[in-house]
Chain A
């Protein structure tokens, strides 16, 4: 791939990126969230069209207008979200679309199963062709996805963050598989942000940062530090002016919290921390290391497995969302359109989402829209929410104003502790600036704020204390000066200390 450029509204995802992959090698594509890795591979797989640049296959220029073209050219991709049909067997899933036929009309199940069994043997997969996909484990499902590509004679296999859904054991099984594939002459592009794995399996590594190729290095000679530096090194951006923190009592406390995700994998593993009045504690980490489940457990969206949660000194036992709200926890959710707002409701109605059943918004079941509107008017002014009045549907606001609305609602309820999850996701610079200043203002007033964000800049800018979460555990805690590099390393699981 040469000189690939791809732009989406407002952002350049790939900027003059070049990548070359040799036959029979495992080539890792390394980079942070948003570096442009997936975009590049989606272009290779024909799902996106590049704005500039070209793709050469065996020296010949190719243009893909759809995934089918790419498949035919010998490129296969295993997405993070599998495209498998749970109620069908492995063999059926693999042959779907190019089924073997007998007697002219009938599906030759036997042939399908035999081919799948052969493939499994060649590549040393341990998958039964006749098993139903919903009955097999995630690691095996992934192998079925790989088989789909191989069945269509893929020479190049793209794997998008394949270990994100695997346990460590499954991951090392996968690597065995990859080594076998490599021996058979198949090239593999391995997208990841996990340094250790990349060093374990890759032959060559290309690092992307902010849409640009930084370097391509062979594995020999690369170390975790050198790779991390290439991934993380960046200029320092705007910091918010803030006074030093004046801390008070502990308002939010978590002790030895354990929580699992929907699949039963433990994502939060023994997390403990405290947030005091007048400070902002930021939790930094790469997406998928347990932050989401942590917040869900605190706010009642998910039931924790074990551990203690205390808000303002009161212990919360397996709270529902109502319980945590009543206990004084405010929550600016990371998914404002799914959890934070009812888009079809007006601003005034959204403002009332937690309190509609209490006076003065209502009495004995009778709603007083005027009060809702009054309150909304006040908040709109205070938080500078633009795009409409109290009666405008929330969906008509821009993302930034929607987020301001959510923040307005949460803050105006005067919570004991406020949790802000990805508060500036998808927002423009102006909105980000406003929210950051607001959060700091609240902190100055003595509120306890827990900030969870994937954006290191935001964490650095706002936090008085920084915690780093990696694989469900808090692996670092820093007050005062600490370098971005150090935090970056901890986020990637690197243990080595770097002088501040």
Chain B
């Protein structure tokens, strides 16, 4: 025995700084609560505002326009009317429905990342799993004519979810059996899904549309009416908020229940925090790695499902190229600290940003195209700061000597 066994007297912060990502994030969860994500967002918006200012635009006006564009001004004059001729309140209501549409997607892609984080893994493949969900939902949506609405939708959603689970499960299996790092495999799977979807929807591809007037356009067929999700707010002709939103909320509840109320959630978290102790407790580490990845992918696949059935109805090569919802899900999960409520709020913020920057911005304040890029800058800053704030917290905590009494108290005689 040489030096004092340092590993025995580790405090949670020490474990956090060297341990699994799940452990690190859980530390920040306990310390700082809501204040830190809030501060991160504010800081990111601040810096974004500086960029706007530096390029000759007024950031305050720009943010106000984004606020309105996202429909958040609806709270000032709430109404259920979303008609075009309904004036400003109706416009706000409509914007809000669109924001909520984006939010639904981001909730699910965020949950995908969050669930994997809880099991100590980084699912960067949400984008690919989303695409797979889209594809499967479209495929079922355009087939099975004559089926009633309920079973058609149910089947499509279930299939999309399952497809997402399988796609992520590939990475899970690879990790459990060969130890392949899930970040690399999910990145590869992302691009495989990307090209797969491009091919499927492209001219001559199996899911290419059969409309002679659209023959040269690399777009799919729109799904049948029976497969479309009902609209819960807004008009069906002018993209209204679909039931997908409710499904997303339900998914939040399912996520919460899975993590906190099931033995599966218990096992998954144990493996994420401390695989050694989990194994010692009799938990099968490999099985849970696969399970966690699969469930994670299921959420992302579901996102694809509700988007396809809720408002996209068809998809094309060009859409594949610009979609980023899987990646934004990463920011959502990190901001939301992998909790159900956090993911909801994070999804709402980014959903608002995404839609608000495309809408209603007058070009004398800032061009819409510019503000769209602003979304990415803010996203990047948020993710960057969250990646780092864990350590900022750690430093902050140890300076304030909040070190818990986990530090060893050695007895009068040398024990080591």
Contacts and interface: CB of A to CB of B under 8 A. Distances in A.
Q: Do A and B bind each other?
A: yes
Interface of A: 8-11, 13, 33-36, 38-39, 42, 79-80, 160-161, 191, 210-211, 237, 287-288, 301, 320-322, 325, 333, 335-345, 349, 352-354, 356-357, 362, 365-367, 369, 387, 393, 395-402, 424-429, 432, 454-455
B8 A337 contact: yes
A38 B26 CA distance: 36
B10 interface: yes
B23 to A, nearest CB: 6
Interface in B1-55: 1-5, 7-12, 15, 22-23, 26-27, 30
B414 interface: yes
Interface in B236-288: 260-267, 269-270, 273-274, 276-282
A265 to B, nearest CB: 18
Contacts of B273: 342-345
B8 A455 contact: no
B15 A395 contact: yes
- For chain B, give the interface size range: 35 or more
A8 B262 contact: no
Given A287-B1, A325-B282, A336-B8, 8 more contacts: A8-B410, A211-B414, A333-B280, A339-B277, A342-B269, A342-B270, A365-B262, A398-B407
A397 B407 CA distance: 9
A161 B3 CA distance: 12
Contacts, number: 172
B212 interface: no
Contacts of B22: 344
A387 B414 contact: no
B261 A367 contact: yes
B261 A343 contact: no
A342 B415 contact: no
12 contacts: A9-B408, A10-B411, A321-B281, A335-B8, A340-B280, A342-B270, A343-B274, A356-B267, A362-B263, A367-B266, A396-B404, A425-B416
B338 to A, nearest CB: 12
Nearest to B269: A345
Closest 4 CB pairs of A and B: A395-B12, A322-B282, A34-B414, A398-B405
Contact of B274 (A288, A342, A398): A342
Given A337-B10, A369-B261, A342 B277 contact: yes
B415 A353 contact: no
A396 B411 contact: no
B84 interface: no
A114 B400 CA distance: 55
Given A367-B265, A427-B409, A342 B278 contact: yes
B401 interface: no
B3 A393 contact: no
Nearest to B261: A367
A179 B270 CA distance: 52
A339 B7 contact: no
A396 B415 contact: no
B404 A395 contact: yes
Contact of A9 (B10, B274, B410, B414): B410
B414 A210 contact: yes
B399 interface: no
B409 A396 contact: no
Nearest to A191: B2
B412 interface: yes
Contacts of B77: none
Nearest to A320: B282
Contacts of B1: 33-34, 38, 287-288, 454
Nearest to A388: B404
Contacts of A397: 404-406
Contacts of B408: 9-10, 399, 426-427
Nearest to A341: B277
A10 B274 CA distance: 29
Contacts of A288: 1
Contacts of A356: 263, 266-267, 281
Interface string B371-394: 000000000000000000000000
